[in-house]
């Protein structure tokens, strides 16, 4: 029989259901994934970290922001659990996954950190003190008010404390059965008194356990309920195990009222006479920003219509008989403002990891580009040499990495020659650069916490037009006294050079002299997005004023149609 055997590979899926309507539209998908192989004092494992990485990768595809921890000791696991609980807000979807050693004492199941001590008979209290009861994990998540909670446990079935040199701690074969309360779905990787295979043979090259490889395949299929996933996983695991003469049949215990679907995109082919409104977004929706794609003409979206993930359908779309701007909004980034504005539309079709929400016209692009909750916030600044992206993190970090686009390797930003007083180590560089020709698209960011957890990826929408406008408006708003400048040179002059430099944020400039209202227009040259700060040679940069002028009042109309306050600059 292949070894090491699995002491436990089980899955507990806890669902706290109840939020709906507008609150559901605000939900985010969050996950904590822990994989422990490198135990210091007990039997080491081979595939727990690999299983955890595979699960984390699939969860990211399903739209989860994942906090990853590998080979965690007691302190790291405790910090990770506390941080994860702090991430969760009422209405979120929270998933916890653990792969590593587990142990049952007196009917209570414990998850073992990598520094759990080696103990002998009658020393079970040392395990209780060093390990984490499953109930603590469940209670911590539920107390935060998560609308959907998923608890996934994958722990080895061999007794980690068994040895030939002394009396070892007695162990039952597997963890204790979890009595699932209402709203809980429990899926175990093997039935009672069965051992779960780590691999089929020593020649088995699959990086995942027999159960995990089967479960992953079903998890990735859209539209399946938990019971369907469990039954199909049962069939596959039993078939694989029997091929090497081993009995292993995953068992499940269903206390969920109704059907729950983790990956809810249904690839429904269009029926005759029905139009498929697919806006060309084939990848997963960003947790932060929907992609805006306008439609042409009048498209009737009714039952059976599938809409691409992360897509905004512009004017001319009819949903349920009413014309509206509709966005597929990932739960990780609810619309800003009043939650009542985030109405569930639920008009036919289902979409992976998203909610159909009504996008109100009073939500500005700038409000839709900022991540929320404990996600990093990104600000963009433009110079003649290109773009600088500056990140603000929600917690102390030891490293920051990014990638441009949603595929490829992450690149670290490096370290500054500055000590972070919160960590005692060099501060990770919060900024990175992009080409001045960078196109609109997604950026993805990760960061590493003090306990070694890799948190993310967080997807951030980059639109150079919006970013340029926001950057220039932010800069101008911070220097109202520098909008214009008086000079005495062959008469009295007032220069508008600063406003010309930041004209890509401006639609119109008007001014008035000596307290008069700003009614006279000062014309600006067109914005050159390729070289936004350059002032054309023939541009008018100043006015010649009467020497009796004491002040000038200036008001800006921004690109979004709003106006600044009247800004008065006094002559020295």
| CA 437 – CA 340 distance, rounded (Å) | 39
Contact between 3 and 127 (Cβ < 8 Å): no
End-to-end, the C-alpha distance of the chain in Å comes to: 91
Neighbours of 530 (CB within 10 A): 8
Query: What was the pLDDT predicted at 264?
Result: 55
Neighbours of 108 (CB within 10 A): 14
101 token code pair: 């050693």
Contact between 502 and 516 (Cβ < 8 Å): no
Residue whose structure tokens are 């595929």 = 407
Question: What sign does the CA torsion over 17, 228, 457, 357 have?
Answer: negative
Query: What was the pLDDT predicted at 103?
Result: 83
Query: What was the pLDDT predicted at 263?
Result: 63
Which part of the chain has CATH 3.40.50.1460? 10-254
Tell me the C-alpha to C-alpha distance, in Å, between residue 433 and each of 298, 376, 387, 420: 41, 17, 6, 22
Question: Which has the closest alpha carbon to 344: 23, 101, 15, 71?
Answer: 23
Alpha-helical segments (H) within 403-548:
464-477, 497-501
| CA 308 – CA 329 distance, rounded (Å) | 11
Query: What was the pLDDT predicted at 34?
Result: 92
Along the 572 residues of the chain, how does pLDDT read in single tens digits? 443 444 444 444 443 333 333 344 457 888 899 999 999 998 888 888 999 999 898 888 888 888 899 998 998 899 889 888 888 888 788 888 888 888 888 888 889 999 999 887 677 788 888 899 888 888 888 888 877 778 888 876 566 776 533 333 445 456 777 776 656 677 777 776 677 787 888 888 898 888 889 988 988 888 888 788 889 988 998 999 999 999 888 877 776 667 777 665 433 333 333 333 322 222 333 333 233 333 333 333 433 333 444 444 444 444 333 333 333 333 333 333 433 333 222 222 233 333 232 223 333 433 333 334 467 889 999 988 899 999 999 889 999 999 998 888 999 999 999 998 888 889 999 999 999 999 989 999 999 988 888 888 888 889 999 999 999 999 999 998 899 999 988 889 999 999 999 999 998 999 999 989 898 999 999 998 888 998 998 899 999 999 999 999 999 999 888 889 999 999 88
Alpha-helical segments (H) within 155-264:
210-219, 226-242
Q: Among 2.60.40, 1.20.120, 3.40.50, 2.40.50, what is the CATH number of 377-462?
A: 2.60.40
Query: What was the pLDDT predicted at 252?
Result: 76
Cα 56 to the center of its chain, rounded Å: 12
4 token code pair: 């090491």
Q: In the CATH scheme, what architecture does the domain 468-570 have?
A: Sandwich (2.60)
| CA 233 – CA 216 distance, rounded (Å) | 9
Contact between 551 and 568 (Cβ < 8 Å): yes
Question: Which has the closest alpha carbon to 425: 391, 395, 399?
Answer: 399
Alpha-helical segments (H) within 313-352:
none
Max intra-chain CA distance, the chain? 101
Which part of the chain has CATH 2.60.40? 377-462, 468-570
Quick one: DSSP state of residue 202? Answer: T
| CA 187 – CA 8 distance, rounded (Å) | 12
- For 435, half-sphere exposure in the C-beta direction (CA atoms, 13 angstrom radius) is 5
Q: In the CATH scheme, what architecture does the domain 10-254 have?
A: 3-Layer(aba) Sandwich (3.40)
- For residue 494, count CB atoms less than 10 angstroms from its CB and return exposed for 0-12, middle for 13-18, buried for 19 or more: buried
């Amino acid at each position: 029989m292949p070894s090491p055997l699995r002491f436990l590979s089980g899955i507990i899926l806890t669902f706290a259901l109840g939020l709906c309507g507008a609150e559901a539209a605000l939900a985010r998908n969050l996950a904590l994934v822990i994989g422990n192989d490198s135990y210091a004092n007990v039997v080491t494992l081979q595939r727990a970290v690999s299983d955890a990485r595979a699960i984390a990768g699939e969860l990211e595809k399903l739209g989860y922001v994942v906090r990853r921890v590998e080979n965690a000791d007691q302190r790291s696991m405790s910090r990770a659990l506390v941080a994860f609980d702090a991430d969760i807000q009422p209405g979120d979807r929270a998933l916890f996954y653990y792969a590593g050693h587990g142990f049952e004492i007196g009917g209570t199941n414990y998850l073992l950190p990598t520094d759990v001590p080696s103990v002998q008979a009658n020393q079970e209290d040392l395990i209780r003190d060093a390990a984490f009861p499953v109930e603590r994990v469940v209670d911590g998540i539920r107390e935060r008010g998560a609308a959907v909670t998923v608890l996934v446990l994958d722990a080895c079935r061999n007794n980690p404390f068994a040895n030939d040199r002394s009396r070892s701690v007695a162990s039952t074969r597997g963890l204790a059965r979890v009595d699932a309360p209402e709203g809980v779905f429990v899926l175990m990787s093997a039935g009672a008194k069965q051992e779960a295979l780590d691999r089929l043979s020593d020649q088995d090259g699959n990086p995942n356990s027999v159960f995990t490889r089967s479960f992953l395949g079903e998890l990735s299929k859209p539209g399946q309920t938990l019971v369907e996933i469990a039954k199909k996983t049962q069939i596959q695991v039993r078939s694989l195990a029997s091929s090497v003469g081993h009995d292993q049949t995953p068992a499940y215990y269903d206390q969920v009222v109704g059907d729950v679907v983790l990956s809810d995109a249904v690839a429904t082919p269009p029926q005759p006479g029905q139009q498929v409104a697919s806006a060309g977004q084939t990848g997963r929706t960003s947790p932060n920003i929907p992609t805006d794609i306008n439609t042409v003409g009048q498209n009737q979206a009714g039952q059976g219509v599938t809409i691409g993930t992360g897509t905004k359908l512009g004017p001319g779309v009819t949903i349920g008989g009413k014309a509206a701007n509709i966005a597929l909004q990932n739960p990780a980034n609810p619309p800003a403002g009043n939650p009542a504005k985030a109405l569930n539309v639920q008009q036919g079709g289902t979409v992976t990891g998203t909610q159909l929400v009504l996008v109100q016209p009073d939500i500005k692009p700038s409000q839709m580009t900022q991540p929320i909750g404990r996600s990093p916030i990104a600000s963009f600044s433009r110079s003649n040499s290109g773009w600088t992206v500056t990140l603000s993190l929600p917690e102390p970090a030891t490293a920051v990495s990014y990638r441009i686009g949603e595929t490829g390797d992450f690149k670290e930003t490096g370290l500054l020659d500055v000590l972070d007083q919160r960590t005692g180590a060099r501060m990770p560089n919060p900024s990175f650069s992009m080409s001045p020709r960078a196109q609109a698209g997604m950026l993805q960011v990760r960061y590493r916490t003090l306990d070694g957890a890799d948190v993310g990826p967080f997807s951030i929408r980059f639109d150079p037009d919006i970013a340029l406008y926001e950057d220039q408006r932010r800069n101008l708003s911070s220097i109202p006294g520098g909008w214009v400048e008086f000079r005495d040179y062959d008469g009295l002059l007032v220069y508008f050079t600063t406003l010309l430099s930041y004209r890509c944020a401006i639609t119109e400039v008007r001014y008035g002299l000596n307290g008069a209202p700003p009614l006279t227009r000062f014309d600006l040259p067109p914005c050159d997005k390729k070289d936004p700060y350059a002032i054309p040679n023939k541009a008018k940069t100043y006015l010649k004023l009467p020497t009796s002028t004491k002040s000038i009042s200036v008001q800006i109309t921004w690109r979004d149609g709003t106006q600044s306050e009247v800004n008065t600059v006094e002559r020295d």
